[in-house]
Amino acid sequence: MKNLDKIAFEFWAGVGSMSDLENWAESELRKDNPHPDACELFGLSTEEAQKRSIALAEEILGFKPVSEQGEKLAKELLVGYCEKLIKKEITPMKFCLLVQLFDANYLGLRTLGDGSLEYPAWLGNLWNNCDWCDESWSLSSSPHLLEEAKKVIKNET
């Protein structure tokens, strides 16, 4: 079973699973002192599940998606999505939306000595490889994206 921080992070990233959230809630409700909101996590819309999971993760664990802990989860998720892209389990568009989210939120998480923003090296050159990506992209028409995904996996494993 996934931890609450990971569940909340995946919802924040747009790839959350209701079954993961409901499994966490079931486990929480089995405790002697469950969180009072756990019983309200069943049958939610994706939008509501995102709001509630993030709020609970922050309340219970102090977790925020844009943080060093969130960045660690982002790296793990990115590697998994690189693998899914290579196996043709997701479209380039879905993959690039995740890359764009990570680029927008983790660029500048840290500042360099000269005051410039640090680019997250774990994103490799995916931002440039996703530039201009739209629904018309296929894996056969974007071999550069596959190659960069392979490089990211190699650098993170």
Predicted TM-score (pTM) of the model is 0.92
Counting Cα atoms < 13 Å in the Cβ hemisphere of 39 gives 6
Type of residue found at 76 = E
pLDDT of residue 117: 79
Q: What are phi and psi of 117, to 5 degrees?
A: -80, 140
Query: What residues contact residue 137 under an 8 Å CB cut-off, 6+ apart?
Result: 91, 92, 93, 96, 145
Per-residue confidence at 157, pLDDT binned at 50, 70, 90? low
Is residue 110 scored above 90 in pLDDT? Answer: no
